[in-house]
Amino acid sequence: MNGQGAALIATRALAVRIGGISVCSDLNISVRAGERLAILGRNGAGKSTLLSVLAGLRDGDEGDVLLGGDRYAALAAREAARRRGWLAQRHSDAFASTVLETALTGRHPHLGRWDWETTADADIAHAALKACGLSELAARDVQTLSGGERQRLAIATLLTQAPPLYLLDEPLAHLDLNHQIAALDLFAAAAKDDGAGIVMVLHEPGLADRYCDRVLLLYGDGRHELGDCREMLTEERLAELYGHPLKEVESDGRRWFIPA
Amino acid sequence: MPSRRRAFLVLALLACGGLASFAAALAVGSLSLPLPEVMATLLGEQTPNAAIILELRLPRALAGFACGGLLALAGALMQVLLRNPLADPYVLGISGGAGVGAMFAIMVGLGMAGINGFAFLGALGAMLLVFGLAHGDGAWTQTRLLLTGVIVAAGCGAVVALMLSIAPEHKLRGMLFWLMGDLSQTGSPLIALGILAAGLLVAMPFARELNLMARGSDTAQALGVDVRQLRYTVYAVASLLTAIAVTSAGSIGFIGLVVPHLVRLAIGNDQRLLLPASVLAGGALLTLADTLARTVVAPQQLPVGVLTALIGVPVFLFLLARHPR
């Protein structure tokens, strides 16, 4: 492993472009243990693209992404998978498989080439399924799950992987309100108790304010702003970000932004 | 919960099935031989029909087993690679390329070695063509590969039809038999068996990674699979396996598509079990089919490819209809 000083993930002068559109340029972020960063922006601003660059699934155009101090090119895929987990935005299952088997795929980076999953691995997977409220469905075929159940299974798989850094692409997709809060609470606990770092793409500024320390705003034209939630999440900035006026309301000490 | 114990159990059962298919292949034919005599011959005793068993039936059974195993393994690998249960060596045009090579060799009057050589070159050529074209700008999606394979296969089919229509009358029967798959002309089965073992040895260490590939390339990469390297490896191995199978037995359809599918329906999609199980099941099935092919209208012989399709289609449809979804 790396020295204690290295951030879980850091970018140096990162520029990302997709289809002729600049997502960001000269981006310098670093996420350390226990820190939570939200990425906000309009549809098509490149939030998911940036997250997959951070996850090493595609290359940035300029600059570097350092995962625990190392470039992805210098890391074996398995080692990278022990340093970061990535939640996909969409899940497609071409073949039948049980819910438990799917959750167990999270153990892959922790197993040797010829190892089979042990009961200890199964215990980890069962605990993750329980945390996501899927214990009852362990023997079900993934192809029969609803969208929300499938999303919770993806989260359970990620918890089974138990990486020190979570990169979450729309973790709330398909989830009911109760499950949205439950999922965010799970990751908040991982950050607080296990010192996990979290980067997540969100659509709701109020939830970003409640569950993250910092926020990265992607304006869709290559400009970005990075800072503390309190400072960044203002009516003016969000109105420009989403191209629609928003009104800030406060309830029980929490800030919410509703479309005007 | 996948476990080694269950895997060994399933594989042991399938191995018994394989042995049974060998017993049938050695004992049954235009001359039926009792099993004790077959056993005695295999153990080295001099029996009146030793030549039939050791020189005719055993090599042919071994060749059938090897080809069935090769095709089933290639099909299983390609289905994972393309995340599509419809993928198989035939759909991807590899055997079409082999067919073009073999037809050309037969038409110009080359011997067995020439036919095999050209079939191999054709398979390799089609594979490189599909791979090269689908690769394109570097983004090599499953759909694109499947589509390219289907088109190349269709093109090969047209070329084969063209050669059949201009070929001299007396060569037509040999060409047709080759196209329909035929084990009666195979040489030594040792090469095919060796390649089969090698293919399985290369694929097995990647079995758990293939499980992840089946769930999508980004997901696999995020969970620690070197997707690029694995894709190249699997495509190369699957193509080589197909080329060897097609070279030694002609064009035998359905094994590569149906066997992995049947095995998957029966025991699930864990490649650590699916790959070796497909080899055993494919080998046993083709050995049995070939035994049938040379007995149902004995002393005449049917092309085994016709029988695999006749058996495969109804079994496949039945299982598909029985399973919900």
Predicted-complex ipTM score? 0.92
CB of A55 within 8 Å of a chain B CB? The answer is yes
Distance CA B229, CA A35 (A): 34
Is residue A26 pLDDT above 70, yes or no? Answer: yes
Question: How many other C-beta atoms can be found within 10 angstroms of the C-beta atom of residue A141?
Answer: 17
Q: Which of B212, B216, B222 sits opposite A55 (nearest CB)?
A: B222
Residue B136's pLDDT is 52
A241 near A40, Cβ under 8 Å? yes
Of B313, B312, B305, nearest in space to B98 by CA: B305
**Which of A147, A162, A177 is the endpoint of a domain?**
A162
Q: What's the CATH number where A46 sits?
A: 3.40.50.300
Q: Which residues of A touch B222 (CB under 8 A)?
A: 55, 57, 81, 84-86, 88
* B211 CB within 8 Å of a chain A CB: yes
**A95 touches B: beta carbon within 8 Å:** yes
Per mean pLDDT, which range of A245-254, B101-110, B249-258 is the poorest? B249-258
Report the distance separating Cα B79 and Cα A95, nearest Å.
10
Give the CATH architecture of domain B4-322.
Answer: Orthogonal Bundle (1.10)
Chain A hits for B325, Cβ within 8 Å:
96, 143-144
Q: Are residues A106 and A136 in the same domain?
A: yes
Phi, psi dihedral angles at B82 (to 5 degrees) = -95, 0
Residues A253 and A176 in one domain: yes
Contact criterion met (CB below 8 Å) for B270 and B2 = yes
Tell me the pTM.
0.91
User: Which tokens in the block code for residue A115?
Assistant: 């190892």
Q: For residue range A55-82, list pLDDT tens digits in order.
A: 999 999 999 999 999 999 999 999 999 9
Say if residues A216 and A210 touch (Cβ distance below 8 Å): no
The closest CB to that of B223, out of A97, A109, A122, belongs to A109
Q: Are residues A67 and A167 in the same domain?
A: yes
The residue among A162, A180, A211 that closes a domain is A162
DSSP E strand boundaries for A135-245: 165-169, 197-201, 214-218, 224-228
What is the biggest distance separating any 2 CA atoms in chain A, rounded to whole angstroms?
A: 58
The first and second tokens of residue B158, run together, are 């047209």
CA–CA gap between residue A81 and residue A79 (Å, rounded)? 5
Residues A109 and A201 in one domain: no
* A186 and A61 part of one domain: yes
Tell me: do A182 and A154 sit in the same domain: no
A76/B226 touch (CB, cutoff 8 Å), yes or no: yes
Over residues B223-235, the mean pLDDT reads: 91
Residue range A100-159, pLDDT digits in tens = 999 999 999 999 999 999 999 999 999 999 999 999 999 999 999 999 999 999 999 999
Residues of B in contact with A143 (CB under 8 A): 325
Does residue A76 sit in the same domain as residue A184? yes
Q: Best residue in A95, A101, A104 to probe B by mutation, most B CBs within 10 Å?
A: A95
Extract the tokens encoding B252: 């035998």
CA distance B82 to B78: 6
Q: Do A143 and B325 touch (CB under 8 A)?
A: yes
> Do residues A133 and A152 make contact, with C-beta atoms less than 8 angstroms apart?
yes
CA distances from A6 to A10, A67, B245 (A): 9, 9, 53
Task: Name the 3-class secondary structure at A234.
Answer: coil
Per CB-CB distance under 8 Å, the chain A contacts of B269 are 95-97
- Chain B, residues 77-96, CB within 8 A of chain A, namely 83-85
Could you give the CA distance from residue A253 to residue A197 in angstroms, rounded to a whole number?
25
Phi/psi at B139 (5° precision): -85, 110
A151 and A222 together in one domain: no
At residue B184, the 3 state secondary structure works out as coil
Which of A103, A136, A162 is the C-terminal boundary of a domain? A162
In whole angstroms, what is the distance from residue A39 CA to residue A203 CA? 9
Best mutation site among B80, B219, B270, B273 for testing chain A: the one with the most A CBs within 10 Å? B219
Contact A95 B209 (CB under 8 A): no
* Same domain for A172 and A254: yes
Determine the pLDDT at residue B135: 63
The DSSP bridge partners found for residue A251 are: A254
Nearest CB to B1; choose among A108, A122, A143: A122
Helix then strand then coil, in percent of chain B rounded to 5, is 75, 0, 25
| Model confidence pLDDT, tens digit, residues A33-43 | 999 999 999 99
H helices then E strands: how many in chain A?
9, 13
Range of the domain at A121: 92-162
Task: Indicate the domain borders of chain B.
Answer: 4-322
Check B214 against A105: CB less than 8 A apart: no
